[in-house]
Structure 1
Amino acid sequence: MDFHGLRIAVTGAGRDTGRLLALAFAERGARVFVTARDAGAAAGTAELIRQRGRGMAEAFGCDLADPDSVRGFAAALAERTGHLDVLVNNGAGYLTGEGLPDADDADIVATIAGAATGTVLLTKHLLPLLRSSARPDIVNLVSACGEVGHRRSGAHPAFYAAKHAQAGFAEILSYRLRTEGIRVLSLFPPDFVQDGPRESDADLTAASVVDCVLFAVGQPRDCFIREFRFEQVRPDGS
């Protein structure tokens, strides 16, 4: 799959799945705009891309829980490119704890602001660049925690709340932007592992999630894939 020349922004790309996404797009020829709350982590991903010699990368600090930081990144990106082909809304802080008292107020605010408000604001401020693309895609790494009836994660209720908000935003955005030819794709993976055997009786891996994103973005423009839903390995392994 060749993404040569595409301009792609990936949030939360300083480590883990976001870094894998940025590397995968770059290896296929894309120019990747890498963001992370920690600007140094974003720079580390960009340096890895440069070392591999495929694609191009620029690093930016962007705290999705801070509206000023979101606007600053959007403005900086607009200075570097006249269009954006793909926005990957991956950045979101995971919060553990089954009980409400298991997280303090600041962590709850940051979790909801980063995944929900941050996704909305960043998409809003980058929409002009996406509208200037000949093949715009918006990809949202939501979570099975955003599915109605999903109760199998050990995430904090605030994370569930943030992901339900993100899922609702993605759904209405897909409907309203469809007429403009802007594809909005959402993935709802269960809690997954960064590394592991990619086998039917094992946990979902980050590499498989990345492959789903690459597949969807690479489809012809008449193919609007709205969602990826995943089966989850049962506790008994069945």
Structure 2
Amino acid sequence: MNLDGLRVAVTGAGRDTGRLLAAAFAERGAHVSVAARDPAAAEQTADLIRQRGRGAAEAFACDLANPDSVRAFAATLADRTDRLDVLVNNGAGYLHGEDLGDVEDDAIVAAIAGAVTGTVLLTKHVLPLLRASPRPDVVNMISACGEVGHHRSGAHAAFYAAKHGQAGFAEILSHRVRADGIRVISLFPPDFVQDGPRESHAELTAKSIVDCVLFAVGQPRDCFIREFRFEQVQAPEG
């Protein structure tokens, strides 16, 4: 797939799945704005892309739980480019714990603010850049925790709340920006691993999720893949 010249922004791109996403877009010729809460981690991802010699990357600080940081990142993008072709809302802090008391209040506030408020604000502030693109896409890395009736993750209830908030935002955003030609593509993966055998009875891998994103973004404009829902690996019987 050739994505030469595509302008892409990926949040939470300082490690793990976000880093894989940023690198995958760059490997196909895109210019990637790598955003992470930790500027050093963002720079590491950008350096990795530069070393591979395909596409291009710039690193930016963006703390999704801090509205000023979100607005500053969006303003910097507007200063650097006249359009944004793909926004990947990947950044979100994971919280583990089956009891509400397992997590401190500040961590709950940060998780919900980052995943929900940060996603809404960043999308809002880069929307003019997306509307200036001839092929705009918004990709939301949600979670099966955002699906109604999903109970199989060990994530904290606040993480479930955050992901339901993201899912609700994606739903109404898709409806309201479709007339502008903007596709809103959401992924609802179950808990997954960064690497693995990629076999039918194994856990879902980050690489497979990245492949889904690239597939959806690479489709012609008459093909709008709105959501990816995944089967979760079944526990063995007995």
Bin for the TM-score computed over the shorter chain: over 0.9
Inter-CA distance 105–136: structure 2 relative to 1 (3 Å threshold):
same
The residue type equivalent to 1:160 in the other structure is: Y
1-structure distance, mates of 2:186, 2:111: 19
- Is residue 201–residue 237 contact of structure 1 (8 Å, CA) maintained in 2? no
Inter-CA distance 237–31: structure 2 relative to 1 (3 Å threshold):
farther
The residue type equivalent to 1:219 in the other structure is: Q
Q: Which residue of 1 aligns with 2:106?
A: 106
Q: Which residue of 2 aligns with 1:136?
A: 136
Q: Which residue of 2 aligns with 1:126?
A: 126
Inter-CA distance 54–124: structure 2 relative to 1 (3 Å threshold):
same
**TM-score normalised by L of structure 2:** 0.99
1-structure distance, mates of 2:226, 2:173: 11
2-structure distance, mates of 1:28, 1:86: 14
SS in structure 1 of the partner of residue 112 of structure 2 = helix
SS in structure 1 of the partner of residue 212 of structure 2 = helix
The residue type equivalent to 1:189 in the other structure is: P
2-structure distance, mates of 1:237, 1:127: 48
Q: Which residue of 1 aligns with 2:43?
A: 43
The residue type equivalent to 2:147 in the other structure is: E
Deviation of 1:127 after TM superposition, in Å, equals: 0.2
- Is residue 13–residue 36 contact of structure 1 (8 Å, CA) maintained in 2? yes
1-structure distance, mates of 2:200, 2:186: 22
Question: Matches of residues 90-105 of structure 1 in structure 2 within 5 Å?
Answer: 90-105=90-105
Question: Matches of residues 128-207 of structure 1 in structure 2 within 5 Å?
Answer: 128-207=128-207
1-structure distance, mates of 2:115, 2:236: 31
Deviation of 1:224 after TM superposition, in Å, equals: 1.0
**TM-score normalised by L of structure 1:** 0.99
SS in structure 2 of the partner of residue 207 of structure 1 = helix
Deviation of 1:234 after TM superposition, in Å, equals: 1.1
Name the count of aligned residue pairs: 238
The residue type equivalent to 1:227 in the other structure is: E
How big is each residue's C-alpha offset from its partner over 1:199-230, in whole Å with a ceiling of 9 and x where there is no partner?
Answer: 00000000000000000000000111110000
Deviation of 1:237 after TM superposition, in Å, equals: 7.3
Deviation of 1:61 after TM superposition, in Å, equals: 0.4
How big is each residue's C-alpha offset from its partner over 1:49-91, in whole Å with a ceiling of 9 and x where there is no partner?
Answer: 0000000000000000000000000011111000000000000
The runs of at least 4 consecutive aligned structure 1 residues that moved more than 2 Å come to none
2-structure distance, mates of 1:236, 1:178: 42
The residue type equivalent to 1:22 in the other structure is: A
Deviation of 1:236 after TM superposition, in Å, equals: 1.3
Q: Percent identity?
A: 78
Q: Which residue of 2 aligns with 1:24?
A: 24
2-structure distance, mates of 1:5, 1:213: 18
What's the RMSD between the two structures over aligned residues?
0.9
Q: Which residue of 2 aligns with 1:228?
A: 228
List gaps (5 residues or longer) in structure 2: none
1-structure distance, mates of 2:79, 2:174: 27
Deviation of 1:235 after TM superposition, in Å, equals: 1.5
Q: Which residue of 2 aligns with 1:218?
A: 218
How big is each residue's C-alpha offset from its partner over 1:168-226, in whole Å with a ceiling of 9 and x where there is no partner?
Answer: 00001011111111000000000000010000000000000000000000000011111
SS in structure 2 of the partner of residue 33 of structure 1 = strand
2-structure distance, mates of 1:208, 1:237: 26
Q: Which residue of 2 aligns with 1:62?
A: 62
